[in-house]
């Protein structure tokens, strides 16, 4: 995709910005501030971007949730917090989290737990179990699921 000229109008710059990667509304508004666009033009520009399908918060939330789960092995809790930080609406967060396939999510949890478990082999079983659980909780997985996976790994 060709780069836009430095003196392009803000709308063209934002179209390029949104076409390059999915964005949420807060990121676009921050970009508008950086471009020093007057605040009273922000809503109009965002409306045009939405109308022309350059900006779609639901699409952004779904992509964000899937990619964080697959690439960074994040759990639902951490994904939810990250989307809230990006000021994504509750509705879009719920839709995005429903999109995550349960089997794939369980597989990510299991694979992440096994990888960490192997790295903790030199620890005592008690410390190993607690470090694994804390690691998985920090990754954003639900405590009930974490303790089920930990119990299975401890038995093996």
pLDDT in tens, 52-105: 999 999 999 999 999 999 999 999 999 999 999 999 999 999 999 999 999 999
Domain-wise residue ranges, the chain = 10-51, 57-99, 102-155
Residue 8 binned pLDDT confidence (cut-offs 50, 70, 90): low
| Cβ-count burial 36-63 (b if 16+ within 10 Å, e if not) | ebeeeebeebbeebeeeebbbbeebbbe
Does the domain at residues 102-155 carry the CATH identifier 1.10.10? yes
The pLDDT of 31-53, averaged and rounded, is 93
Residue 116 makes CB contacts below 8 A (sequence gap 6+) with 131, 132, 135, 136
| pTM over cut 0.75 | yes
| Mean pLDDT over each residue of the chain, to the nearest integer | 92
**One-character DSSP codes across 95-155:** HHHHHS-HHHHHHHHHHHHHHHHHHTTTS-HHHHHHHHHHHHHHTT--HHHHHHHHHHHHH
The pLDDT of 133-138, averaged and rounded, is 97
């Amino acid at each position: 995709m060709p780069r836009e000229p430095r003196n392009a109008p803000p709308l063209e710059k934002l179209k390029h910005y949104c076409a390059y990667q999915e964005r949420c509304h807060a990121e676009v508004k921050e970009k508008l501030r950086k471009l020093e666009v007057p605040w009273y033009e922000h809503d109009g520009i965002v409306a045009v971007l939405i109308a022309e399908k350059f900006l779609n918060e639901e699409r952004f939330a779904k992509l964000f949730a899937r990619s964080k789960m697959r690439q960074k092995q994040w759990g639902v809790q951490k994904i939810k917090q990250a989307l809230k930080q990006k000021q994504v609406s509750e509705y879009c967060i719920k839709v995005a989290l429903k999109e995550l396939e349960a089997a794939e999510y369980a597989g990510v949890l299991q694979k992440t737990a096994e990888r960490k478990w192997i790295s903790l082999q030199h620890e005592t079983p008690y410390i190993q179990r607690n470090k694994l659980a804390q690691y998985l909780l920090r990754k954003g997985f639900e405590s009930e699921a974490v303790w089920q996976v930990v119990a299975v790994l401890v038995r093996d």
